[in-house]
Amino acid sequence: RAKAMGRNRYEFFTQNLQAEIISHKRTADEVLAGIDNDEFVTWYQPQFNAQTNELTGVEALVRWRHPHFGILAPDRFLKIAEDLNVAATLDHIVLQTVLKDKMRWTAMGLQVPKVSVNVSSRRLHDEGLVGTLRSLSIRPGEISFELVESIFLDEHEDIAATNLDQIKALGIDIEIDDFGTGHTSIVSLLKLKPKRLKIDRQLVMPILNSPQERALVRSIIDIARSLGVETVAEGVETMQHAALLRDLGCDLLQGYAFARPLGFEDFTQMALANWARAAA
């Protein structure tokens, strides 16, 4: 009897394991199929000048328009894409889409500011990256790359450093993403000379109630300013946050208080309305 129970347990275990393997494998296959079927789309979240409320920046964010599950955010697939070694492919799809969309905005007479795209570590370490970027004929000032700091502590730092110099030479700005989390160092700020520093949402969200985070955010803004680096606050969820960040001297605000990431059509409507308001 004990033996039978043991076997049952064993079968139960293997069945679960198989189900997990199958579902994991299906997800990986789905990501690859999704790439083949053009299911990855680019959404846009606006950033506003804290003083004037003008549309001053845009972040491009990848979404998966899944045939069964609808629009999926990166937390549902980015890790798998990284494991599959296709995160850089997604980055490239997003960049190409941004360049195409910028042409559509220009054709509509709509002035859309520089668009920031996220760049995965793998892509920054790709020796073919600069060649690929050259072939896209990106105009100087048109695009900016968001990098997380941990990228610079990786191995093959030399390739990343060479790429960075050449990326800057192409007129693509560098932004440090998620500043204040992970391997933050002031030294990387000095070395990188980024155009913008994005203060992580984890630091921004508590500023109304926590003097500690508020002091930290104030110091980051002051340091950035003394280095001539613009600051962007991420995760600005309320107008109280926006007002405090403006008082602390933050340059740009991004968050649900203003807008969530939007598809091309919705973003275009939003940008047109902002433009009309600014012109009035």
What are the residues binding ligand C2E (CB under 6 A)?
45, 61-62, 73-75, 78, 87, 90-91, 94, 118, 120, 146, 177-178, 201, 234-237, 254-256, 261
User: Which one, 189 or 236, has the nearer CB to ligand C2E?
Assistant: 236
Q: In this structure, are residues 222 and 228 in contact, taking their beta carbons and an 8 Å threshold?
A: no
Shortest gap between Cβ of 207 and ligand C2E (angstroms)?
13
User: Which one, 76 or 168, has the nearer CB to ligand C2E?
Assistant: 76
User: What DSSP assignment string belongs to 218-240?
Assistant: HHHHHHHHHTT-EEEE----SHH
User: Which one, 199 or 229, has the nearer CB to ligand C2E?
Assistant: 199
User: Which one, 45 or 144, has the nearer CB to ligand C2E?
Assistant: 45
* Interacting residue ranges for Mg ion, rule: CB under 5 A: 118, 146, 177-178, 234
C-alpha gyration radius of the chain:
22
Q: Which option in Mg ion, ligand C2E, none does residue 230 bind, with CB closer than 5 to 8 A by kind?
A: none
Q: Which option in ligand C2E, Mg ion, none does residue 39 bind, with CB closer than 5 to 8 A by kind?
A: none
Shortest gap between Cβ of 200 and Mg ion (angstroms)?
6
Shortest gap between Cβ of 177 and ligand C2E (angstroms)?
5
d(CA 31, CA 81): 7
Q: Between 87-107 and 264-279, two packed helices, what is the crossing angle to 10 degrees?
A: 40
User: Which one, 101 or 177, has the nearer CB to Mg ion?
Assistant: 177
User: Which one, 148 or 229, has the nearer CB to ligand C2E?
Assistant: 148
Shortest gap between Cβ of 177 and Mg ion (angstroms)?
4
Shortest gap between Cβ of 14 and ligand C2E (angstroms)?
35
H or E element that contains 118: strand 115-118
Q: In this structure, are residues 146 and 175 in contact, taking their beta carbons and an 8 Å threshold?
A: yes
d(CA 93, CA 60): 11
d(CA 239, CA 261): 18
Shortest gap between Cβ of 205 and ligand C2E (angstroms)?
8
Q: Which option in Mg ion, ligand C2E, none does residue 91 bind, with CB closer than 5 to 8 A by kind?
A: ligand C2E
d(CA 247, CA 78): 36
Shortest gap between Cβ of 237 and Mg ion (angstroms)?
14
Closest residue to ligand C2E in the complex (CB) = 255
Q: In this structure, are residues 181 and 202 in contact, taking their beta carbons and an 8 Å threshold?
A: yes
Q: Which residues pair with 57 in a beta bridge?
A: 47
Q: Which residues pair with 253 in a beta bridge?
A: 48, 233
Q: Which residues pair with 44 in a beta bridge?
A: 60, 262
User: Which one, 43 or 189, has the nearer CB to ligand C2E?
Assistant: 43
Q: Which residues contact 221 (CB under 8 A, 6 or more apart)?
A: 199, 231, 248, 249, 250
